[in-house]
Every structure is written in structure tokens, then in C-alpha cells.
């Protein structure tokens, strides 16, 4: 069991640190590959939505109905699913508007001279800090979702961590741009981006400390149902709209369909 826990924690760490990868991309490239980001966000959404409805929701329902009966278990599954959605919706509601983690930013903005914005440093720094805070808060439930899935089904956890990592890359750019433009420091932009991603493994640690001691079929079913709701909401509210903003062609929907197909074939071959 210890090995499975460390594996699940490792996956959440990799997924979380992908925000820093977004900053590194901004360091070493001069233009944004909008088609790739659009495709990657669409792919991530496709993986999350497919696996949520086909695998995670059904596993939650199976666990709950076997533990407490068909009717009660089905209702509790629905309750957990929409509770997960409500959790992310509340996070979105109470996170300040200046810190919208889904606002599209491009690498080109990192290459503009920050000198012209020096008189606005406090406001830009505030915007960047709020953005980092918003992404930190959003990553927390994603860490719980990735950890829980990886602990139950390692191959499923790998797929989810890849999907989460892909959508964390543009979030890293979103943190980096205002921080760099306010301070002129790429190192500081990189630091804020990496730190915002650490809430992902922090969510996994919290899940381990507070859920693992009480984990049974009922709690597992409720958590898994909530995980499905969290991932569906994130996909519909954040990933798909951001994918369309990065590229108005069909790359986002192609990525979305490919993500679903990859997940479908993976589940078919592995389970």
C-alpha cells in the first residue's frame, strides 16, 4: 500500500509542476504555439469528461450501491457528483476577478519590455499574485482528484495526471506574464508559477491525511463521485473556453475528440 501511495503522490507532483513548465516555455520561446495549446486543452478536456462519465462516475455508483443499496447509492452518487461541481463553482465565485486562472496569456507578452509598465508595478504585481492565488486554489481539488484516482486505479491516475498537466502549462504562462511585466524578473515569474502548482500535491497530502484513515466503500464512492463532478466542471467552465480562445480553428475540438478516443481505447485495453 505504501508504494501505491507514493506513486499517487508522485503523479500529483508531476501534474502540479507543469505550471512551472509553462514558465519555462515562456523563457525559451519567442512565440506562443496557440494551435498546440488549443489542442492540448481540448485533449485534456476530452480525457477528463470521458473518464468522468464512463469510468469514475460508474465506479462511484458501483461502490455506493453495493454498500448501501441500489436506490440510496444511486442518489448519493448524484449528490456527490453535483457537490463536486458546486465546490469548484464556489471557488470560482469567491476567487477575486483579478485572478482569473482561465484568462488567455501568450508568450509574446513575456518578450515585451517591462520598462513601460514600471509605474504600474503594484497593480500588475497584485494581478499576478491574485492569478497565482486563484490557480493555487483551483489546483487543490485537482490534486485530491488525481491522488484518489491514482490510488484506486494507477493507470487511470496516469491518464488524469497527464490531462491535468497539459492544462496546467498555459496556467503557468498566465501566472508568469503579469509577474514578469511588473518586476522585469523572469526568475520571480518562474518562482510564482512553480509555487502555484504545489497546491496540487498539497491536495494529495490532505486527501492522504484526512481521507485515507476513514476510507471505506461509502466514503470512496462519495469522493469518486465528487471527483467526476470536479473534472467535468473544470472542463466545461475552463478548458474548452480557453481552448477556443487560443485558436479559433478546429484544433480544440480535434484535441477533444482525440482525448476521448485515447481514453476510451486505454480503458478498453487496460480494464
At 88-117, the pLDDT tens digits run 888 777 765 555 555 555 555 545 544 444
Binding residues: 139, 142, 167-168, 171, 200
Q: Distance between CA atoms of 114 and 109, rounded to whole angstroms? A: 9
Predicted confidence band of residue 49 (pLDDT cuts 50, 70, 90):
very high
| CB 109, CB 171: distance < 8 Å | no
| CB 140, CB 95: distance < 8 Å | no
Binding residues for Fe(2+): 139, 142, 168, 171, 200
At 153-188, the pLDDT tens digits run 888 888 888 888 887 887 787 777 777 777 777 788
Domain layout of the chain by residue ranges = 2-29+39-270
Q: Cα–Cα–Cα angle for 51, 233, 92, nearest 5°?
A: 150
Binding residues for Zn(2+): 142, 167, 171
At 199-210, the pLDDT tens digits run 889 988 988 888
Predicted confidence band of residue 85 (pLDDT cuts 50, 70, 90):
very high
Task: Mention every residue, 6+ apart, whose C-beta is less than 8 A from residue 33.
Answer: none
Predicted confidence band of residue 7 (pLDDT cuts 50, 70, 90):
very high
Predicted confidence band of residue 118 (pLDDT cuts 50, 70, 90):
very low
271: pLDDT strictly greater than 60: no
DSSP result, 115-166: GGGGGGHHHHHHHHHHHHHHHHHHHHHHHHHHHHHHHH-HHHHHHHHHHHHH
Q: Cα–Cα–Cα angle for 216, 219, 222, nearest 5°?
A: 145
At 122-142, the pLDDT tens digits run 666 666 677 777 778 777 888
228: pLDDT strictly greater than 80: yes
Phi, psi (rounded to 5 degrees) for 113: -65, 130
> Quick one: what percent of the chain has pLDDT higher than 70?
82
- The length of the chain is 271
At 69-80, the pLDDT tens digits run 999 999 999 999
Burial of 121 (0-12, 13-18, 19+ CB in 10 A): middle
Helix axes 2-28, 186-197, angle to 10 degrees: 150
What is the reported pTM? Answer: 0.74
Amino acid at each position: 500500500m505504501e508504494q501505491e501511495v507514493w506513486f499517487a503522490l508522485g503523479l500529483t507532483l508531476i501534474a502540479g509542476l507543469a505550471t512551472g513548465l509553462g514558465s519555462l516555455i515562456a523563457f525559451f520561446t519567442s512565440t506562443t504555439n496557440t494551435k498546440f495549446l488549443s489542442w492540448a486543452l481540448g485533449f485534456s478536456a476530452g480525457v477528463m469528461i470521458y473518464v468522468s462519465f464512463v469510468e469514475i462516475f460508474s465506479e462511484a455508483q458501483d461502490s455506493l450501491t453495493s454498500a448501501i443499496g441500489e436506490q440510496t447509492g444511486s442518489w448519493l452518487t448524484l449528490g456527490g457528483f453535483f457537490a463536486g461541481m458546486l465546490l469548484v463553482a464556489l471557488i470560482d465565485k469567491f476567487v477575486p476577478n483579478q485572478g482569473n486562472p482561465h484568462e488567455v496569456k501568450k508568450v509574446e507578452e513575456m518578450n515585451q519590455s517591462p520598462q513601460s509598465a514600471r509605474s504600474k508595478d503594484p497593480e500588475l504585481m497584485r494581478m499576478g499574485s491574485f492569478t497565482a492565488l486563484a490557480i493555487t486554489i483551483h489546483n487543490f481539488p485537482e490534486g485530491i482528484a488525481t491522488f484518489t484516482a491514482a490510488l484506486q486505479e494507477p493507470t487511470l491516475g496516469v491518464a488524469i495526471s497527464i490531462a491535468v498537466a497539459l492544462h496546467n502549462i498555459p496556467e503557468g504562462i498566465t501566472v508568469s506574464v503579469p509577474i514578469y511585466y511588473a518586476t522585469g524578473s523572469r526568475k520571480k515569474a518562474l518562482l510564482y508559477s512553480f509555487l502555484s502548482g504545489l497546491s496540487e500535491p498539497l491536495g494529495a497530502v490532505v486527501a492522504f491525511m484526512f481521507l485515507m484513515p476513514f476510507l471505506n466503500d461509502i466514503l470512496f464512492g462519495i469522493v469518486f463521485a465528487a471527483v467526476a463532478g470536479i473534472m467535468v466542471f473544470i472542463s466545461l467552465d475552463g478548458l474548452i473556453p480557453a481552448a477556443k480562445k487560443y485558436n479559433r480553428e478546429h484544433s480544440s475540438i480535434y484535441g477533444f475528440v482525440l482525448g476521448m478516443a485515447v481514453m476510451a481505447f486505454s480503458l478498453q485495453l487496460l480494464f
